[in-house]
Amino acid sequence: MAKKRILSGMRPTAPLHLGNYLGALQNWVALQDEYDCFFMSADWHALTSEYRSAGNIQRFARENIAEFIAAGVDPEKSTVFIQSDVPEHTELHMILSCLTPLGWLERVPTYKAQVKELESKGVDNYAFLGYPVLQAADIFLYKGEAVPVGEDQLPHLELTREIARRFNSIFGKQVFPEPKAKLTEIRLLLGLDGRKMSGSYGNGIEIGEEPATVEKKIKSMFTDPARVRRKDPGTPEKCNVWTFHSIFNSSERHAEIAEGCRSAEIGCIDCKTELAGKVQEHLTPIFEKRKELLENPKELDEIIHEGAKKARIVAQETMEEVREAVFNSR
């Protein structure tokens, strides 16, 4: 029995950080044995908001592919590629944009919030408004049957399903399946400053950083402001370091740290030092594999080239169906 197909991607706007790793990459690695996976570095999507610094996008795209692989995505099991290496993405996006009502895009729940959040980047443009149409094209091109998403992304997926229904209805052919949500557990991490971890804020721990840099960043993290002195008792629930321990330490040790914080038996410096060791233990193999790939550009380029070639075979087959439906319709 053929595996169901999944398409997912990340925008190459910065090096990947722990939030990307815990929120998506770990799920990708877990899915690749069960599904026929297509994972891409979505550089066209990055361009919709990063057009003023577009020179960085291709560099980040290559680095992100290296980070996918270093984190455990296997190019022998999954198709790994850069979006712009498959020109059919933009062709299908153009066709879908002709039949997607403007009102559907303006009603996307997160659109206005994102425009406000990224105001300094000038994203009040056509491309950013049409971002969900390109997203739909990405999924349809590989006839993705499932899409790994968190609950907050369900409205975006429903829009994709509406576009599929509209296309199939207008042209009288069932070209695109309606993708279903593959709900995944997304562990959210706050950044070093207590805000959402984001490359835009520069408050993350990059998965490809030197171990010494990781340690330095962890030791700069905010803790419970009530712990002014070493012997002051703390409230671990107010401390982002304790949240990190819940992910990188055992549940037993996590509980011990909480009790040690409340009783002031454990100081913030000791707590951060232990955390730094645990995070380094987790990230060092990823750091080393990423470094190896980036120091061997021919190997990385070959992986990217082969991934694009595999993706294009599927994309071209889909576009033949699309052109037949669109241009031979009455």
Taking only the tens place, the pLDDT of each residue in 148-201 is: 877 777 778 899 999 999 999 999 999 999 999 887 766 677 888 878 887 767
d(CA 111, CA 86): 26
Beta bridge partners of 82: 41
Domains, the chain: 5-190+297-327 (3.40.50.620), 211-290 (1.10.240.10)
- Predicted TM-score (pTM) of the model is 0.91
Beta bridge partners of 256: none
- Pick out the chain residues at pLDDT < 50: none
For the chain, state the CA radius of gyration: 22
Alpha helix positions (H), 142-200: 154-171
Look up residue 177 and give its amino acid: P
Sign of the torsion formed by the C-alpha atoms of 47, 49, 51 and 55:
negative
DSSP assignment, residue 206? B
User: pLDDT value at position 233?
Assistant: 82
